[in-house]
């Protein structure tokens, strides 16, 4: 499965071995990753920004991925998945949260 610059051991443990569904459509056998908030800054390689997805069906030409509301739902789903699997936040994740604080504030208020 795709890793990019993400921590490969974490990707293997928390997604490849523990997640079989595309986070966009919910069907099995995802085959690509989507950086929900892009990949410009070093903290965007946080596992909190790692979204398993079907490349041809759900990723390419999908304008929904650019909508703020949809991105917030994906980030919430990723966060809940990692929390359920026992992931412990690293410094890079804390920086990612700081830079996307409004999303995580909404999440804590159950608005997502």
Q: State the chain's maximal CA–CA distance in angstroms.
A: 34
Helices and strands, counts by H and E, the chain: 4, 2
22 inside domain: yes
1 inside domain: no
What pLDDT is recorded for position 6? 81
79 inside domain: yes
58 inside domain: yes
93 inside domain: yes
Residues 98-108 have a mean pLDDT of 92
What pLDDT is recorded for position 18? 82
3 inside domain: no
What tokens does 6 get? 């993400």
pLDDT exceeds 80 at position 2: no
Number of domains in the chain: 1
44 inside domain: yes
2 inside domain: no
Q: Tell me which residue range forms the domain holding 96.
A: 8-108
Label residue 61 left, alpha or beta by phi (over 0 means left) and psi (-120 to 50 means alpha): left
Which pLDDT tens digit goes with each residue over 40-88?
A: 888 899 999 999 999 999 999 999 999 999 999 999 999 999 999 999 9
Supply the mean pLDDT for the chain: 91
**Which phi and psi angles does 63 have, rounded to 5°?**
-70, -20
pLDDT exceeds 60 at position 112: no
């Amino acid at each position: 499965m795709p890793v990019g610059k993400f921590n490969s051991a974490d990707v293997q443990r928390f997604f490849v071995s523990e997640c079989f569904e595309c986070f966009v459509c919910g069907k099995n056998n995802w085959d690509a990753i989507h950086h929900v908030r892009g990949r410009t800054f070093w903290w965007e390689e946080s596992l909190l920004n790692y979204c398993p997805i079907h490349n041809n069906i759900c990723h390419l030409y999908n304008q929904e991925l650019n909508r703020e509301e949809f991105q917030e739902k994906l980030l919430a789903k990723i966060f809940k998945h990692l929390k359920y699997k026992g992931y412990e936040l690293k410094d890079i994740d804390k920086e990612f949260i700081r830079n996307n604080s409004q999303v995580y504030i909404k999440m804590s208020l159950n608005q997502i």
